[in-house]
Structure 1
Amino acid sequence: MMKPVLLAGEIFHITTLASTGLETGASSRYSNGATRYIQALMNSQIDVVQIGGDRCEHEFPTTMDELDRYSVVVISDVGALSLLYTPETRLGKRSVNRLELIRRWVEQGGALMMAGGYTGFQGMYGAAMFHGTAIERALPVEISALPDGLEAPEGLDPVIASSDHAILSGMTAPVPFILGLNRVIARVQSDTRTLMCCKHGGSDLPLLSVREYGSGRSLSWTTDIGPHWLSADFMQWSGFDRLMANMVRWLAREI
């Protein structure tokens, strides 16, 4: 039986201020951007363990054995610092570099997916900061040193570049539009393939790329796994569940 997927990120703490003159009130709430994604995997009998970005410092695995409890690690809308900081770091002590740990885990047979968003890849404001980190070396794409978020309210239409890949098996066309992505650079290597891209400004921007890295596998999905870059049409698309599950199953060598 396939081990659970570990999803890091996609929990947002939202604080709102409302003013009616001199009277001001504050409210806060938590929001989970991965609800639809998690349901898609559960519909395919894939269990998911989610650790929000606010909990990564204390709860994200710090050893290979802890990572081995999972079939795939998915990093989505949580930046590098949330994974690099540990309780020991804050006390001024040496600690594990989780990004290097993940890279070694993938090289030795693990599986990694990075999804896009405002704090994916380099991030909308450059705050995700995955450029130049160990984890970038394991991905099928190179990450810009500059802010890489692209808002596209007009919509971007995904183009399938490698329809013969197992991840795209049984996909219905056309794939619905998206509303943004992180602009990355596809690696030109024999162990890497771009399966989907989006045309923008005369360029083909990678959307879905895969890589065989050492004994493991990695995948980049440069748009959201939920709103808002994933359009309502995309999340209601009949192929959504299958595509999300196929990504995970390919990474776990289940297909």
Structure 2
Amino acid sequence: MKPVLLAGETFHVTSFASKGLEVGSSSRYSNGATRYIQALAAHGIDVVQIGGERCEAEFPTTLEALSQYSVVVISDVGALSLLYTPETRAGQRSVNRLELLRHWVEQGGALLMAGGYTCFQGMDGSAMFHGTAIEECLPVEISAGPDGLEAPEGLDPIVIDGGHPVLTGVPSQLPFVLGMNRVVLRTDDKAVGLVQCSIRGRELPLLAVRDYGAGRSLAWATDIGPHWLSDDFMRWRGYDQLMTNMVRWLAREI
């Protein structure tokens, strides 16, 4: 199996400490995909990660470059980080990488969008994938406004299609999640909801899949790591299998 390309899941945190008139600052770099990468590696799947801060310069700009990967995973990185290129900043025409991804999927590629504060439309609406070419190929529709849902009380996933290959070998009871993006399952017959969460009388798709042209797409409307994935979920014995199944189904290996 060719490597998986993971875009996003990195961030810098800068903090200030004030002690009277003296103010100090510190900065740290974090990677939210460490557990995810370990899970795929345990099943023999290599992951090439391009952190969000590197997407502008390093994310593929051609179909040939994308073809080096079995699956592209977009996780916690917004549309602008993929749309901007060095040429764009120089005032020149360049490739629209969201349209490129849509075309790649249509031609037989595989795309997974995972949730978080800066994916789908995002906690404050800044991810901005609504109305883009990527939305066109996903199994869900994205809101035009902020779609982040914080749920400190926990949301209990409900499996609605346990017979799908993505859920093969996965325990039927998934641990609770602490938040998700409020997306809507498409009504066409190619989009299939596998897992959902119920909140305030609404059923929200947590895991959905779709055949698009000759390719496939998958929406996982919560994190692949903390904090929306609870500690229980991260420690759950089904985590590795579920994350691996998503990738293998997209790559037509199961």
TM-score range, shorter chain: over 0.9
Letter in 2 for 1:21: G
CA distance, structure 2, for counterparts of residue 13 and residue 52 of structure 1: 11
C-alpha deviation, 1:26, in angstroms: 0.6
Letter in 2 for 1:130: F
Aligned to 1:8: 7
Aligned to 2:52: 53
Equivalent position SS for 1:163: coil
Equivalent position SS for 1:7: strand
Aligned: 1:240 with 2:239: yes
Unaligned runs of 5+ in 2: none
Aligned to 2:222: 223
**Paired residues of 2:149 and 2:180 also in contact (CA < 8 A):** yes
**Which aligned pairs between 1:60-139 and structure 2 lie closer than 5 A?**
60-139=59-138
Unaligned runs of 5+ in 1: none
**Which aligned pairs between 1:167-206 and structure 2 lie closer than 5 A?**
167-206=166-205
CA distance, structure 2, for counterparts of residue 3 and residue 231 of structure 1: 30
Percent identical residues: 72
CA distance, structure 2, for counterparts of residue 148 and residue 174 of structure 1: 25
Letter in 1 for 2:204: L
Equivalent position SS for 1:135: helix
CA distance, structure 2, for counterparts of residue 81 and residue 21 of structure 1: 39
Letter in 2 for 1:70: Y
CA distance, structure 2, for counterparts of residue 183 and residue 67 of structure 1: 29
Equivalent position SS for 2:93: coil
**Paired residues of 2:2 and 2:68 also in contact (CA < 8 A):** yes
The size of the alignment, in residue pairs, is: 254
Letter in 2 for 1:45: G
List 4+ stretches of structure 1 deviating above 2 A. none
TM-score, normalization by structure 2: 1.00
Aligned to 2:16: 17
Q: Deviations over 1:9-56 (max 9, x none)?
A: 001111011111110011101000000000000001000000000000
Equivalent position SS for 2:163: coil
**Paired residues of 2:10 and 2:53 also in contact (CA < 8 A):** yes
CA distance, structure 1, for counterparts of residue 35 and residue 165 of structure 2: 23
Equivalent position SS for 2:27: strand
What RMSD over aligned residues (CA atoms) do the two structures have, in Å? 0.4
CA distance, structure 1, for counterparts of residue 115 and residue 162 of structure 2: 22
CA distance, structure 1, for counterparts of residue 28 and residue 86 of structure 2: 25
Tell which deviates more after alignment, 14-23 or 144-153.
14-23
C-alpha deviation, 1:189, in angstroms: 1.0
Aligned: 1:253 with 2:242: no
CA distance, structure 1, for counterparts of residue 194 and residue 173 of structure 2: 14
Letter in 2 for 1:235: M
Aligned: 1:152 with 2:151: yes
C-alpha deviation, 1:174, in angstroms: 1.4
Letter in 2 for 1:243: L
Equivalent position SS for 1:234: helix
CA distance, structure 2, for counterparts of residue 144 and residue 173 of structure 1: 29
CA distance, structure 2, for counterparts of residue 18 and residue 6 of structure 1: 37
Equivalent position SS for 2:104: helix
CA distance, structure 2, for counterparts of residue 174 and residue 50 of structure 1: 30
